[in-house]
Chains A and B, each alone.
Chain A
Amino acid sequence: MPNTAIVIESSELLQTITHAKNSLGFTLLLDITAIDNLNKTHPSSTRFELVYILRHADFKETLIYKVAVADETVGVQSISSLFSSADWAEREVYDQYGINFINHPMLKRVLNHMQFEGHPLRKDYEITKGQYCTNAQDLMDEMKPLLKKRNLDLNKGDLMVVNLGPSHPASHGTIRTLVALEGETIVAAATEIGYLHRGFEKSCENHNYNQIIPYTDRLNYCSAVMNNIAFAKTVEDMMDITLPERGIYIRIIVGELSRVIDHLVCLAAGLLDMGGQTNYWYLYNPRDNAYDFLSKLTGARLTNSYMRIGGMTHDLYDGWEADLRDVLTKIDFGITESLKMIAHNRIFNDRLQNISVVSAKQAIDYCFTGPNLRASGVAYDLRFAKPYYGYETFDFDMVIGSVGDTYDRMMVRFDEMNESLKIIRQAIKRIPDGEINVNDKRIIMPAKSSVYGGIEGMMNHFMLVIEGVKVPKGEYYGAFEAANGELGFYIVSDGSGTPYKVKVRPPSFYHIAAYPKIIENYQVADAILTLGSLNIIAGEMDR
């Protein structure tokens, strides 16, 4: 079922969105993207259309506005004065599509490098046309206004400018933050991302729906199956199909297991950055046990590609239950042992509490989602706000922080793992027998016996491989509560087996956009832990 977008004129954009925010209560700006109509058979009047996706303060409803862009070099009014999250979202649209935003504070590329020419997501940009980059940017264009605002001068006083990253042991991937230091204190910071931009969205436009599944694995590679599920679910919702009960339960089980191992690696690495190496062993080793289970089930440790549109590759194996229970026990043990070492540890508490506090209001303004938003005391979890897959029938709690500091962000994750384990244990008990995939030969591959044994099965297989699963024409935004927050896919289908456009709404992109602001006035060592607690995954941030 496609969402209905409200089409508005570009001249009334700022007014309409101001009204939506202040009067209608749509306080979260989830994402901004654009559509290039160049290759459409029946294009609308203009080549480019902008898409604004907002979420209501009650977290149930989404609202989509579409704006036709008459002239992309003139563009439309920026809404960055209304939402902090719009700042980087608009930069990305400018970078990928070349659409201007009037009155944007600093409209420059965010994912591609500075020497890049052209705009890669335009339909007339060839997918394989790479461009070498020879120089890094100095980021002074961002740093200087920040210093000026605080009446600081680089040439006077004791200010020192230091690069944290891009290649830094604690940057968890490659993220660069330029910081201006007064002693050990950060007085201004600017973050640069895009080092792991791998062209996910362009690749999607060149592959059919099932071929995209392996790409989704590599968005948030710490919880790969969860991305599979989120993508498959969005496409299934577009086609208006529901999985059989057993399929849904398998998705819940492996999905929640991925949430746990995602939090495990976040906490293990975060504590390692703090010098708590023993915690790393206690938290990381059960992850290896979970890998054992997943590789026995899916054939791969990390990038599982287990899901398909309309189901999954195969059923659970004989004896999965005992294996899984064993993994859960080991995870329990790891969490308990790790908490023993830190829960009442003075160093741990002193180093994390009241560091990089993000208030509920700020978090919503930056469009935080997931554990980072809940740490700030906002009760938003899609599994509660808009339950899918029957989450409302499970007995588990939402974990909420109170302060929104680094401590809360980490402890929320610790407790969330326990809640996920609770869900998995209930699902193991309740999982029914039966089919795992939808019974539709236009979606699911036929059995190998009929492919090799008959012409009909063979043709069926052939058509599914060559043309892919056909998705009805339309546009849809599907949201999923992933380990890091709201993982959304905005898919435009032209009715064929290949999507016309796929836009990911990655939680990490919006978390990192806030990062340079929330580390200000704290020390370098605090900034490292803040980054760890936000759990930035470069794969989904840069896509």
Chain B
Amino acid sequence: MARFIERHPAWALIAIVAIAVLLWLVFAIWPPGLEQAIGRKRVFLNAVFNGITLGGLYFLVASGFTLIFGLMRNVNLAHGSLYLFGGYIGYAISTWTGSWLLSFIVAFIGVALVGVILQIVVFRRMEGQDLRQTMVTIGLSIVFADLMLWVFGGDFYQIQTPAWLIGPIQLPLVTAIKSSGEPVYLGYPLVRLVIFAASVVIGIAMWLALNRTRVGMIVRAGVDDRDILAATGVRIQLVFVLVFALGAGLAGIAGVVGGTFQSLSPGEDTRFLLASLVVVIVGGMGSIPGAALGAIIIGLAEQLGSVYIPTYAIVVTFLIMVLVLALRPQGLLARR
């Protein structure tokens, strides 16, 4: 942080001013002139919160994707299929048992198993052949999509939100003052906050696991140079299987989350594959903090875009990607 400020004082100043403005926008009561210029504060706050919570979902999908890429240099283009499959498992479990939490566990385990099978049966056979792996994963994603269409049909599935999570809660953020002087607080869907909190917890847990544990150390060493790591006697294939299982399982969990606050249907697999590609390209391939930053940026861009420039909302995310590719092609937080 301090080094960044020393090296790029101008950028650091801009960043600090931007953060200050954002904080003011969130906490201050907007003067009437501002409300007239850019609309009500409630809309702005909602868009910001939605962007961040949507970012939480994107992070769940993209973190598995980036983890697998970072360690195995394997662009798994079937990652979207794992997301959708996790969602369908979650739907089946939650309608069968009525338990929302159980559906997360089963989806994680189920999709992680698929990941293990993929790693052992497919990727181990073509290790180090990037292009071949990429082509095979494209093929697999098409096969998976058709299999899921066959089993689940083209319907929309929605995982039932548990009753205690339905409805809005009041946040201690004042959006306006009524003429009687009574403050109006922001009401926000509880389920999105819970899901965001869960993805933060998962993100921190992953960071801790990678940076504070022995397995994490091995994984990080593998990211840097897997040949040397293998030469030191680490059973690298086992590490690969574990990481692939974790990455796939995270996609499965994300599927349940996505099925809860959006919906599941054919086509969602490619949408989330695209989203996680954009997120990791912006954040930096192979970097977990990069995936988090990229996910928040893309989530905010989508939501603020859909409110303030609805016509061009779709373009904004890709504009960001193009900008990042032009100015910092390795991604915002990539190490190299």
Q: Do A and B bind each other?
A: no
Q: A residues bordering B, Cβ < 8 Å?
A: none
Q: B residues bordering A, Cβ < 8 Å?
A: none
